[in-house]
């Protein structure tokens, strides 16, 4: 049986930018096949990704977050921890867990930067959906 449902987790920090990844994802995979889950921030994504993957309902789980240097914590540490956690969730469950978690070197809350990253997240959302479909097709061919 081929699963046709996908989970999409998105962090609420910088939602005006992060939500664009869902827009791009749904340009490739119809929105009626996508269950959407919100979490407070990037750090909360791996646990929910693992839990959703373990249900057996989803062909893949995509996760989107925008981790920027807030001047209080090391954003690169957060980003690395999140990506490591997402990879572990996929490996532990056997369900593809895809990351649209970006950590820019240079980000300022200006109209210019926000426009650039909104557009970039749309593209990254499309790429995650294409990856989900490609992985599913490849895995199905291995099972045949």
Which residues form the catalytic set?
Answer: 74
| Apex 119 CA angle, 35 and 137, nearest 5 | 45
Asked if residue 11 lies in contact with residue 40, where contact means CB atoms within 8 angstroms, the answer is yes
Alpha-helical segments (H) within the chain = 15-28, 45-54, 75-93, 111-143
C-alpha 33: how far from chain center: 16
Measured distance CA(126)–CA(30) in Å, rounded: 12
């Amino acid at each position: 049986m081929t699963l046709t449902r996908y989970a999409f987790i998105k962090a609420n920090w910088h939602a005006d930018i992060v939500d664009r990844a869902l827009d791009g994802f749904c340009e490739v995979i119809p929105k009626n096949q996508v269950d959407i889950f919100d979490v407070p921030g990037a750090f909360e994504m791996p646990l929910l990704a693992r839990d959703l993957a373990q249900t057996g309902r989803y062909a893949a789980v995509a996760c989107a977050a925008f981790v920027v240097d807030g001047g209080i914590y090391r954003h690169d540490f957060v980003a690395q921890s999140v990506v490591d956690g997402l990879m572990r969730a996929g490996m532990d469950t056997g369900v593809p867990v895809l990351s649209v978690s970006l950590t820019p070197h240079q980000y300022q809350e200006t109209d210019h930067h926000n426009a650039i990253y909104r557009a970039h997240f749309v593209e990254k959302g499309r790429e995650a959906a294409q990856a989900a479909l490609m992985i599913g097709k490849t895995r199905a061919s291995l099972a045949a």
